[in-house]
């Protein structure tokens, strides 16, 4: 069996492994900022990009390269570059191809820092950014009737798990001449393959499910070889969003268990979603695996799993949301997600507090909304914790 024929779970454990002369079982950790050359001629050739030698760890490192190869295989991408954080990945993917006068179209329901880059930083540099309601195809159609450089979107979105039809939006973007960047964190590389649906670039915060054990920050950018070599790589090398070899090594070991963890988290999320949807104190629930989700049909078409995040709205606004959070015994209050531990957050006062009330209203985030990231605990313990805490909601 050739490497190319491996299934996803085999790739997670083996893809990209490059053993040293010691034939170690586990991937080696190369904590070295620089590399040496046989002679001056080889050094000169390496700087002309005429050798495969590593030159300097800001450009590339053997441990980081193993992580990049494994992620590329998992995604079905030609090239991957790992970054120090998810935001470094998002920012580099945008900044490497945008300049003054360019136009960007983005969905409005985004991770807070992504929204801040698009709404505040890029416009300050003379880049036009147009926001649309990602769920409304007529808004995409109208915004993309003008020549556009980049489309940026997140599906399922943070925090309310809005689903965007990737195939339709990628087709519209292509006609407008735009590169589509998909921030694929919530779906994870297991459950959604944006490149197969027409996207050009995929970004990850590997801090979330890929590490999945709350230890460190990391990110990745994936795309075709032309884009990555000609546009992304020069920007990456000179501006330095590089991941450390140590963090890359942790991520390599994390990938080995990614599918085992995400499958369990998804089973737990589905169980929690069922518990919540049957409860009278829940006003609305957002989980792509439930037929009640407004975009259920699109989710079934483009995702192979519903994921580990559940959002819901409690009756009675902030007062009840806080009473519920404070009554939880097992589920922890934290703004992180994708962790082994179940975590819950109140977006209005945490992850999305930088948005104006008006901006939150447009996205539909209210004081009663909560976002829950299901962990690896036993589902009965999680459901029991939720049911006892709901008793404190009036
Ligand atoms: C967390 C997150 C990011 C940012 O990643 P960091 O690793 O925190 O820098 C970007 N997009 C989404 C959807 C996220 O959840």
Tell whether ligand 1 has an atom less than 6 A from the beta carbon of residue 208.
yes
pLDDT in tens, 113-168: 999 999 999 999 999 999 999 999 999 999 999 999 999 999 999 999 999 999 99
d(CA 315, CA 324): 11
- Which one of 1.20.272.10, 3.90.1150.200, 3.30.70.1050, 3.90.1150.10 gives the CATH number of domain 258-390? 3.90.1150.10
Tell whether ligand 1 has an atom less than 6 A from the beta carbon of residue 351.
no
What is the distance in A from the centroid of ligand 1 to the CA of 203? 9
| Alpha-carbon torsion (368, 373, 377, 380), positive or negative | positive
Residue 1 has pLDDT above 90, yes or no: no
Q: What stretch(es) of the chain map to CATH 3.40.640.10?
A: 7-255
What is the distance in A from the centroid of ligand 1 to the CA of 113? 8
pLDDT over 70 for what percent of the chain? Answer: 99
Q: What is the three-state SS of 116-149?
A: HHHHHHHHHCCCEEEEECCCCHHHHHHHCCCCCC
Tell whether ligand 1 has an atom less than 6 A from the beta carbon of residue 144.
no
pLDDT over 90 for what percent of the chain? Answer: 94
- What is the overall mean pLDDT for the chain? 96
Ligand 1 nearest atom to the CA of residue 154, by list position: 13
For residue 222, give the 3-state DSSP assignment. Answer: strand
Q: Kindly report the protein residue whose alpha carbon is nearest to atom 11 of ligand 1.
A: 111
pLDDT in tens, 180-211: 999 999 999 999 999 999 999 999 999 999 99
- The predicted model gives 361-386 an average pLDDT of 96
What is the distance in A from the centroid of ligand 1 to the CA of 334? 14
pLDDT classification of 355: cutoffs 50, 70, 90: confident
Residue 3 has pLDDT above 80, yes or no: no
Tell whether ligand 1 has an atom less than 6 A from the beta carbon of residue 134.
no
This prediction has a pTM of 0.97
d(CA 352, CA 119): 14
Q: What stretch(es) of the chain map to CATH 3.90.1150.10?
A: 258-390
7-255 CATH fold:
3.40.640
């Amino acid at each position: 069996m050739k490497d190319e024929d491996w299934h996803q779970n085999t790739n997670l454990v083996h893809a990209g492994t490059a053993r040293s002369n010691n034939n170690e079982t586990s991937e080696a950790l190369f904590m070295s900022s620089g590399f040496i050359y046989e002679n001056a001629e080889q050094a000169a050739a390496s700087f002309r990009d005429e050798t495969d030698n590593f030159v300097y760890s800001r450009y590339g490192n053997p441990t980081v390269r193993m992580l990049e190869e494994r992620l590329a295989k998992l995604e079905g991408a030609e090239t991957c570059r790992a970054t120090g954080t998810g935001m470094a990945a998002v920012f580099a993917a945008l900044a490497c191809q945008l300049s003054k006068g360019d136009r960007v179209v983005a969905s409005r329901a985004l991770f807070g820092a992504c929204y801040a880059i698009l709404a505040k930083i890029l416009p300050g540099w003379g880049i036009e950014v147009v926001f649309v309601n990602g769920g409304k195809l007529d808004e995409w159609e109208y915004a993309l009737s003008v020549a556009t450089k980049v489309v940026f979107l997140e599906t399922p979105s943070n925090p309310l798990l809005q689903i965007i039809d990737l195939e339709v939006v990628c087709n519209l973007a292509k006609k407008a001449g735009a590169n589509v960047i998909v921030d694929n964190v919530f779906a994870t590389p297991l459950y959604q393959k944006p490149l197969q649906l027409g996207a050009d670039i995929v970004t990850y915060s590997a801090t979330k499910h890929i590490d999945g054990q709350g230890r460190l920050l990391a990110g990745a950018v994936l795309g075709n070889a032309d884009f990555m070599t000609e546009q992304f790589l020069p920007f990456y090398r000179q501006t330095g969003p590089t991941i450390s070899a140590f963090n890359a090594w942790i991520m390599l070991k994390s990938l080995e268990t990614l599918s085992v963890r995400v499958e369990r988290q998804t089973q737990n999320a589905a169980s929690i979603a069922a518990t919540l949807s049957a409860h009278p104190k829940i006003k609305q629930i957002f989980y792509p695996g439930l037929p009640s989700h407004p975009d259920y049909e699109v989710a079934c078409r483009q995702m192979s799993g519903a994921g580990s995040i559940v959002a819901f709205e409690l009756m009675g606004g902030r007062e009840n949301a806080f009473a519920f959070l404070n009554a939880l015994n097992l589920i922890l209050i934290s703004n992180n997600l994708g962790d082994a531990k179940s975590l819950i957050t109140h977006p209005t006062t945490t992850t999305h507090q930088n948005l104006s009330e008006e901006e939150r209203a447009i996205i539909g985030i209210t004081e009663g909304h909560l976002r829950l990231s299901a962990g690896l605990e036993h589902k009965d313990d999680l459901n029991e914790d939720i049911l006892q805490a709901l008793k404190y909601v009036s």
